[in-house]
Amino acid sequence: MSAPDPLAGRSRAAAWFATFAAYVVPLGFILAPMTLFLAYSFFSVDHGDIVFSPTLANYVRFFTDPVFQPIFWRTCLLCLSVAVLCVVFAYPVALFLTGLKGRQRHAVLVLLLVPLLMSYVIKIYAVRSILGGNGLLNRTLMALGLIDEPSMLFVFNLNAVLLTLTVLLIPFAILPIFLSLETIPKALRHASADLGASDLQTFLRVTLPLSLPGVASAMSFVFVLAIGDFLTPQMVGGQSGFTFGRIIYSQFGTAFNWPFGAALSVILAAAVICAIALGGWAGTRRQTQ
């Protein structure tokens, strides 16, 4: 119930614009493409032309063809390993961060988050330059006398994808764990100490269990980012580092089977939704206990 409007024409234009922004852009440029994409997964291809009649053939092919499922599960396992590795590195950092105060804490937090906004492609390139046959890692190992010639264990295979993704995604795991550690009341730790628990006991029985929601969301975060990534496996994966994202891309590029590629993407989206739901569920379940 506002005062009468002296500039009714103008405000109507503003209201019209707000409605336009609210509906046309999200519905026209996000929902429409996504829906069309979903619809495409039920189409098929005949001699390079897309047949616009609904069929489940693409999904049947994914579940019956012996090629695609193993790559899908292998990619899931890879991304789960990345998530576990990221948490292993991120947890101590987050714990260290909660011990800091004021300006120090802010500085370390910013330094840990700055790499998030650094160019992703460049970071992949940088990590590859270290892992490569002629890279820093190999040269260091050779200088230390641990190996005699450049090892190809760390480049153009799944190990390389695993290591690169872990290095790139650690910052994404630090933040949720740090936030959940922050919400634990100090009084609980003090109470534990007053009751005679050692620091290690307090950590294992109080801090760690209460921070598990943060660990769960960190893991789902990292998993989602890793499974959706295409650039890293393409850049460091080589022939044996074939992941699900690369299969999808190849369906649009070399194979030119867009409907099948769309169906594979829908399966990828389903995996992403499962991971987000699982992370959210694990988080809330812990909190209610």
Partner 1 sequence: MTAPTTAHATPVRPARRVLESPMKRIGTALLVAVTGLVFVLLYGPLLVPITSSFFTVSHGAVDWSQPTADAYAALTRNESVLAALRTTLIVGVSAVVLSVVIATGLALYVASPEAKGRRFLQFVIFLPFLMPPIITGLALLIFFREINFERSILTVIIGHTVFVLALVYRTILVRLQSLSGSLVEASYDLGASRWQTFRLVLLPNLRGAMAGGAILAFALSFDETMITLLVTGTQSTLPVRLWAMMRLGFTPDINALVTLVLLFTTALCLVAVRFVAPVQAAAGGD
Footprint (CB under 8 A) of partner 1, residues 167-226: 167, 170-171, 174, 190, 193-194, 198-200, 203, 224-225
Q: Which residue has the tokens 């867009």?
A: 258
Site residues (CB under 8 A) for partner 1, limited to 95-114: 95-97, 99, 102-103, 106-114
Closest to 273 in 3D by CA, of 210, 228, 241: 228
Encoded one letter per residue, x for contact with partner 1 by CB under 8 A and - for no contact, window 116-135 reads: xxxxxxxx-xxx-xx---x-
Q: Which is nearer to partner 1, 64 or 119 (CB)?
A: 119
Residue of the chain from 276, 280, 282, 286 that contacts partner 1 (CB under 8 A): 276
The nearest distance, CB 89 to partner 1, in angstroms, is 5
Nearest CB to partner 1, comparing residues 106 and 285:
106
Task: Decide if 178 contacts 215 (C-beta within 8 A).
Answer: no
In this structure, what are the phi and psi dihedrals at residue 246, rounded to the nearest 5 degrees?
-70, -35
Residue 133 has φ and ψ, to the nearest 5°, of -55, -40
- Residue 147 Cβ vs partner 1, minimum distance, rounded to whole Å: 19
**157 close to 240: Cβ distance less than 8 angstroms:** yes
Q: Is residue 235 near partner 1 by the rule CB under 8 A?
A: yes
Q: At its nearest, how many Å lie between partner 1 and the CB of residue 67?
A: 19
Using the rule CB under 8 A, is 254 a contact of partner 1?
A: no
Convert 239-261 to b/e letters by CB count within 10 Å (16 or more is b): eebbbbbbbbbebeeeeebbbbb
